[in-house]
Amino acid sequence: MIRPQMNLPIYLDNQATTQIDPRVLDAMMPHLTSVYGNAASRSHSFGWAAEQAVETARAQVAKLIGALPKEIVFTSGATESNNLALKGVAEGAREAHPERIPHIVTQATEHNAVLDVCHWLEKQGCRITVLPVGPDGLVDLEALRSAVDDDRPVLISVMFANNEVGTIQPAHEIGALCRELGVLFHTDAAQAAGKVPIDVSRDGIGLLSISGHKLYGPKGVGALYVRRRSPVAEQMHGGGHERGMRSGTLNVPGIVGLGAACELAEAEMNAEAARLGALRDRLRAKLETSLDRVHVNGSLEHRLPGNLNMTFEHVDSETLMMGLKDVAVSSGSACTSAAIQPSHVLRALGLDEEAAHSSLRFGIGRFNTEEEIDFVAERVIDVVRKLRQLSPAYAEMT
């Protein structure tokens, strides 16, 4: 099964993080060595060079999502971007209308970087509405409209694509609804940026979060798109950097890497999506052909090309992963992988606790090959069959 030229273990956890693209690293290297100025030092050439590199990256990030460069605020990643968006809007609303309770609407399958912020804001006196999703992971637009009509929120936050099941939400329709009703729309696009087309103007998006390490860039850097005149109060004070919304010395090498990653993603998105979608469908077909009682979680039609989340009935996912030591996969979000509780995303889709504990996420990425996919399929099939031989429940059903 193992061919000499194949490197093991095989990495199929690209929703957790991606390998930095060598071309991105090449772009970063000068700023890790010889071009080391502070981008805020505008009195000499070292600072000017750093500032120019930052502005080039700002334009690269903006172009990927159809924004203007000055609408990009650099952060440490999507978690910080989400915090700045939600807390910033809530605080801005309080300052503008102290007599009103800020209302934020979100949905049940959000990343914890949104849900935990919402829980915190609720303790601070905000009103939070968490909408359910269907079995395909899609939010119900009529339920969203009802939530808006019930009490005009200051913000609707719905992620563009889910990190566990890959479901792509109807961002354009949500944006149209927000535009119609005059509500600000935020989307966590950490998984979607660079993988699927995004146009913040077309889609009516007011705030959008990006993380570098999800699109073959470096860790520790991200961005928040902030549409002009959006009411976002700063959350980090001390110098007024980034339009006053995010103080702190800029991570120039990381920002350069993020910009380079965005530029590559824009140029190669269509071809890469087609290739990853074909690899995903190949893996799915092999697993479904050789194993019974397996099913895909989330929408098959509206899905990230590199995501496959599957339930293997009568097999514990943690035990399955232990049997796949030469394959790197996950049973859920990297941010909650140490938790004993089943995935809140899978439970929101309607899976019971046992099924949620029997699911694996395969994250296929830029550097995976057809040969690797075939190897992984064979390994999963082999381990699932062996584990099911030890399952009395499965034996009874067969």
Range in 72-86, 136-150, 276-290, 374-388 the model is least confident about: 136-150
Structure tokens at 349: 């889709």
Residue 102 and residue 207 share a domain? yes
Q: End-to-end CA distance of the chain, in Å?
A: 28
**Do 249 and 364 have their domain in common?**
no
Residues 251 and 220: beta-carbon distance below 8 Å:
yes
pLDDT at 335 over 80: no
Kindly state the tokens that stand for 394: 């499965």
Question: Quick one: pLDDT band at residue 102, thresholds 50, 70, 90?
Answer: very high
Tell me the residue type at 393: A
- Which token pair is 213? 């390490």
Same domain, 218 and 325: no
Cα–Cα distances in Å, from 266 out to 115, 195, 199, 279? 29, 9, 12, 20
What Rg do the C-alpha atoms of the chain give, in angstroms? 22
Boundary-marking domain end, from 216, 250, 265: 265
For 159-212, write each residue's pLDDT tens digit: 999 999 999 999 999 999 999 999 999 999 999 999 999 999 999 999 999 999
User: Degrees (nearest 5) of the Cα angle 59, 62, 68?
Assistant: 85
* Cα-based torsion angle of the residue sequence 383, 385, 387, 389 in order, rounded to the nearest 10 degrees: -150
Q: Which residues pair with 307 in a beta bridge?
A: 363
Percentage of the chain exceeding pLDDT 70: 96
In a domain, 4, yes or no: no
pLDDT value for 339: 53
Residue-level pLDDT at 2? 45
- What is the average pLDDT across 300-314? 97
Our answer to whether residue 335 is catalytic in this structure is yes
Compute the distance between CA of residue 313 and CA of residue 349 in angstroms, rounded to an integer. 16
Picking from 141, 101, 138, 94, the residue whose alpha carbon sits closest to that of residue 122 is 101
Query: Is residue 137 situated within a structural domain?
Result: yes
CA distances for 228 relative to 156, 232, 258, 348, 383, angstroms: 17, 10, 22, 34, 53
Check which CATH number belongs to the domain holding 393 and give it. 3.90.1150.10
**Catalytic residue (one of 126, 178, 262, 335):** 335
User: Do 227 and 309 have their domain in common?
Assistant: no
3-class DSSP assignment, residue 221: coil
For residue 323, which phi and psi values (nearest 5 degrees)? -80, -10
Residue that is last in its domain, among 265, 298, 319? 265
Same domain, 86 and 210: yes
One-letter amino acid for residue 14 of the chain: N
My answer on whether 387 and 371 are in the same domain is yes
In a domain, 1, yes or no: no
144 and 28 within one domain: yes
Domain that holds residue 314: 10-19+269-397
The pLDDT assigned to 1 comes to 43
| For residue 253, pLDDT beyond 90 | yes
Say whether both 203 and 261 belong to one domain.
yes
Fill in the amino acid letter for 345: V
Rounded CA-CA distance 37/24 in Å is 20
d(CA 130, CA 170): 17
- Flag whether 5 is in a domain: no
Summarised one tens digit per residue, pLDDT across range 342-397 is 899 999 999 999 999 999 999 999 999 999 999 999 999 999 999 999 887 777 77
In this structure, the answer to whether residues 239 and 283 fall within a common structural domain is no
Quote the pLDDT of residue 101: 94
Q: Does residue 216 share a domain with residue 113?
A: yes
Instruction: Judge whether 192 lies within some domain.
Output: yes
Residues 248, 305, single domain; the answer is no
Could you read off the pLDDT of 374-389 as tens digits, one per residue? 999 999 999 999 999 9
Phi and psi at residue 54, to the nearest 5°: -65, -45
**CB–CB of 214/17 below 8 Å?**
yes
**CA atoms in the 13 A half-sphere facing the CB of 391:** 20
- Asked if 121 and 103 count as a contact pair (C-beta separation under 8 A), the reply is no
**Per the structure, how many domains does the chain have?**
2
- Sequence length of the chain is 398
